[in-house]
Amino acid sequence: MRRLLTRVLNRVLLSELFTPLMGIEAEIHTQGRRKLVVGLGNPGMEGTRHSVGMAVLGALAARLGVADRWRGDKHVSGEVIVSEVQQTHVVLLRPRLLMNINGVSVAKAAGKYGIRPEDILLVHDELDKPLGKIVIKHGGSARGHNGVRSCVDCLQTDVMPRLRVGIGRPTGKTPVERHVLGRFSSEEKKVLESVLVQSVDLLLSQLSQEDSQQESQPPSSPAGGRQAAQKRKETERSSSPAEISAATQC
């Protein structure tokens, strides 16, 4: 029932119309390659494990020298920075909606800036990976992550690549919800520093990759999204591992 209500809420919030593009927003919509990088999380809870995607995005903005350029955009229900990595226009997005409906903000930003689902990179926490491990996943199911599920629902496709940042499962009898909404301990923060550095390195690598095959493909359709993702995964398996891992030492 909760999942059904969330999907209905996603649809209602997405019914709002986009506003005309102006200035640099219009330019990025019409020129060159475009990418959207999203730090999934809960607004006002940036320091928690569940919002580690936002921490990674903050570190990326700092590396690009644009950390002071965040601005609220009510039309995408989030905060954005428009920047550039080599020849690629990049939009950084921090949704200002709850995690369960982050996809509304992502879909609105994709529509506003004319960015295809396969060019949207989601950054989010991952319970099933230990703190200190980051993994690139090329599309596929949400694996129980509510923020990713909202993105899949709103974009009507699951082709979006993800950077999964391990936070580990709780120890003892600590409930999962309390664990993910809690803040990192002092010892965990030491590991997190290295995680943020390596996460930004991996994001920049992904954003800088030239993919001529992707450039020639038409935009994904909702009906063909899953098939396109599966086809891409099979191609990756034949040439390289489907997941790229980077681990830090505790």
CATH number at residue 43: 3.40.50.1470
Whether 20 maps to a domain, the answer reads no
Q: Write down the catalytic residue from 29, 50, 89, 145.
A: 50
Range of the domain at 62: 33-208
Distance CA 55, CA 17 (A): 30
Whether 12 maps to a domain, the answer reads no
Whether 164 maps to a domain, the answer reads yes
Torsion angles phi and psi, residue 109, rounded to 5: -65, -40
CA angle 17, 22, 28 (to 5 degrees): 95
Segment 206-229 mean pLDDT: 52
Whether 26 maps to a domain, the answer reads no
Segment 181-189 mean pLDDT: 95
Distance CA 225, CA 143 (A): 17
Pair of tokens at residue 214: 């992707």
Res 208: pLDDT? 85
> Is residue 236 scored above 60 in pLDDT?
no
Averaged pLDDT score across all residues of the chain:
81
Whether 196 maps to a domain, the answer reads yes
Whether 131 maps to a domain, the answer reads yes
Segment 195-201 mean pLDDT: 97
Segment 21-29 mean pLDDT: 50
- What is the pTM (predicted TM-score) of this model? 0.77
Report whether 75 contacts 17 (CB < 8 A): no
pLDDT digits (tens, 9 = 90+) for 54-73: 999 999 999 999 999 999 99
Whether 223 maps to a domain, the answer reads no
User: Active-site residue 50, yes or no?
Assistant: yes
Sorting pLDDT into bands at 50, 70 and 90, what band is 75?
A: very high
Q: What percent of the chain has pLDDT over 70?
A: 71
Report whether 76 contacts 101 (CB < 8 A): no
**What is the count of structural domains for the chain?**
1
